[in-house]
């Protein structure tokens, strides 16, 4: 449970910085979708990790497990694969992991764009509500933000001021402020000017309320944020924690950018851990700010838009930056991308499939920083 709390808190932090991320993690953990497998690297010993990325058309190589027990997600592209290493692969099931040879014209280099430097400044983040994961979220957030960033925690849980005063922050870049308010009260939320923040996280009062009561209060808070956004004609990124998966559909009407359903993720993590002994190491590496993490980045930064682009070309565009492409976020009402409440997220698409993308679409990659 402690590990699950830690992982969920990190997912909340990262989701607040890039909408759609929780759907990626849900897909990787849910037995109904693609899963993470570790398997032998047949015929790939002596090649580099970057070269091996093209070896699976309908699966995605994302890392290596070495004989000494070390797990490396998205290792450097020139990493030589030893005989005794195991592949870490995303696949629909283990029977679908088959090596293939890509066609000669699989990659269109004329579509690939050169990388542009992107810098993030100081941030203002608002947390509405509080539970035991809040302190982990604050600590994780402090590791990512630039100097001068501010976190405002607004809630009315017992002992909140004392807890905030002793938060174990990971850096001095983040200043934490506290506001004692009723987060189900519209006027109190309005007074905080939530639209003036870069992102808002809504946490459930799961330590002091039953699941349904906590989710009900979360829904009220989200509805207030939606009404405020519509009234002012402004948007702010909102990620919300939900406790019960049954309340997810109700929460969709609030138009939050992302939802992290904590109880469902805990159940999935426990179930997957029983099937895959390396899962804890894999997700620990993915959620550690020191290693490679999952990012959803503008797809137009990688390839030209306006014509279909293949999965092989997307993979190569990411590889040239030292990144591993694992999917995309492409929101289209007409193609049923949200049939599973995935927010348009597709993990492990076929590399031979070619699609046309829009500027708002995202490429999902494993990358450092």
pLDDT digits (tens, 9 = 90+) for 325-340: 999 998 765 554 455 5
Instruction: List domains and CATH numbers for the chain.
Output: 119-263 (3.40.50.720)
Q: How many residues does the chain have?
A: 369
Kindly state the tokens that stand for 43. Answer: 């015929």
How far does the chain reach from its first CA to its final CA, in angstroms? 28
Tokens representing 273 are: 């851990």
| Residue 1 pLDDT | 44
Structure tokens at 313: 């070309």
The Cβ-side half-sphere exposure at 344, using a 13 Å CA radius, reads 19
| Banded pLDDT at 76 (limits 50, 70, 90) | very high
User: Is the confidence at residue 27, as pLDDT, over 90?
Assistant: no
Distance in angstroms (rounded) separating the CA atoms of residues 180 and 166: 17
How far is 37 from 63, CA to CA, in rounded Å? Answer: 10
Q: Answer with the residue of higher pLDDT: 184 or 332.
A: 184
- Is 331 buried (19+), middle (13-18) or exposed (0-12) by CB count in 10 A? middle
Contact between 215 and 259 under an 8 Å Cβ cutoff? The reply is no
- Per-residue pLDDT for 61 more than 80? yes
Show the 3-state SS of the chain: CHHHHHHHHHHHHHHHHCCCHHHHHHHHHCCCCCEEEEEECCCCCCCEHHHHHHHCCCCEEEEEECCCCCEEECCCCCCECCCCCEEEEEECCHHHCCCCCCCCCCCCHHHECCCCCCCCCCCEEEEECCCCCHHHHHHHHHHHCCCCEEEEEEECCCCHHHHHHCCCCCCCCEEEEEEECCCCCHHHHHHCCHHHCCEEEECCCCCCCCHHHHHHHHHHHHHHHHHHHHHHCCCCEEEEEECCHHHHHHHHCCCCCEEEEHHHHHHHHHHHHHHCCCHHHHHHHHCCCCCEEEEEEEHHHCECCCCCEEHHHHHHHHHCCCCEEEEEECCCHHHCCCCCCCCCEEECCCCCCEECCCCCCEEEEEEEC
Region 9-21: what's the mean pLDDT? 84
State how far the Cα of 102 lies from the Cα of 171, in Å rounded to an integer: 45
pLDDT of residue 365 exceeding 50, the answer is yes
Residue 249: what pLDDT? 67
Give the percent of the chain with pLDDT over 90. Answer: 58
* pLDDT surpassing 60 at residue 299: yes
Q: Does pLDDT of 176 surpass 90?
A: yes
Per the listing, tokens 């990971």 go with 170
Give the pLDDT score at 256: 64
Would you say 327 and 24 are in contact if contact means Cβ atoms under 8 Å apart?
yes
Quote the tokens at residue 367.
């990358």
User: Mean of the per-residue pLDDT values for the chain?
Assistant: 88
Residue 211 CB neighbour total at 10 angstroms: 16
- Which has more confidence, 290 or 49? 49
- By C-alpha distance, which of 199, 276, 228, 219 is closest to 14? 199
> Looking at residue 17, what is its pLDDT?
83
Are the C-beta atoms of residues 189 and 214 closer than 8 Å to each other? no
Q: Which of 109-118, 263-272, 314-323, 326-335 has the highest mean pLDDT?
A: 314-323
Whether this prediction's pTM lies above 0.85 is answered by: no
Mean pLDDT of 55-82: 94
Query: What's the half-sphere exposure (Cβ side, CA atoms, 13 Å) at 14?
Result: 23
Q: What is the mean pLDDT of residues 171-187?
A: 95
Q: What is the arithmetic mean of pLDDT over 128-154? A: 94
Q: Tokens standing for 213? A: 């009561």
């Amino acid at each position: 449970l402690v590990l699950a709390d830690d992982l969920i808190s990190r997912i909340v932090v990262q989701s607040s910085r890039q909408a759609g991320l929780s759907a990626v993690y849900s897909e990787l953990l849910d037995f109904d979708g693609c899963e993470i497998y570790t398997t032998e690297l047949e015929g790939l010993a002596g090649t580099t990790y970057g070269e091996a990325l093209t070896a699976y058309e309908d699966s995605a190589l994302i890392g290596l497990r070495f004989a000494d027990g070390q797990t490396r997600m998205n290792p450097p592209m020139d990493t030589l694969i030893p005989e005794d290493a195991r592949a870490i692969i995303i696949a629909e099931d283990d029977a679908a992991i088959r090596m293939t040879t890509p066609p000669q014209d699989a990659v269109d280099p004329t579509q690939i764009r050169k990388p542009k430097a992107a810098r993030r400044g100081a941030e203002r983040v608002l947390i509405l509500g509080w539970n035991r994961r809040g302190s982990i979220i604050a600590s994780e957030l402090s590791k990512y933000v630039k100097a001068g960033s501010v976190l405002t925690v607004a809630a009315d849980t017992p002992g909140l001021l004392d807890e905030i005063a002793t938060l174990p922050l990971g850096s001095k870049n983040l200043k934490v402020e506290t506001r004692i308010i009723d987060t189900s009260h519209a006027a109190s939320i309005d007074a905080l000017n939530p639209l003036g923040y870069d992102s808002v996280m809504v946490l459930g009062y799961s330590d002091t309320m039953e699941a349904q009561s906590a989710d009900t209060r979360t829904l009220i808070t989200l509805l207030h944020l939606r009404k405020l956004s519509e009234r002012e004609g402004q948007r702010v990124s909102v990620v919300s924690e939900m406790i019960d998966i049954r309340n997810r559909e109700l929460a969709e009407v609030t138009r939050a950018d992302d939802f992290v359903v904590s109880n469902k993720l805990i159940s999935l993590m426990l179930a997957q851990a029983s099937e895959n002994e390396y899962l804890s190491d894999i997700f620990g590496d993915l959620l550690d700010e020191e290693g490679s993490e999952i990012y959803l980045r503008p797809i137009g930064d990688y390839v030209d838009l306006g014509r279909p682009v293949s999965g092989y070309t997307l993979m190569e565009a990411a590889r040239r930056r030292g990144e591993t492409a694992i999917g995309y976020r492409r929101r289209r009402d007409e193609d049923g991308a949200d049939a599973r409440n995935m927010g348009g997220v597709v993990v492990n698409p076929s590399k031979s499939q070619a699609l046309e993308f829009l500027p708002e679409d995202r490429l999902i990659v494993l990358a450092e920083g």
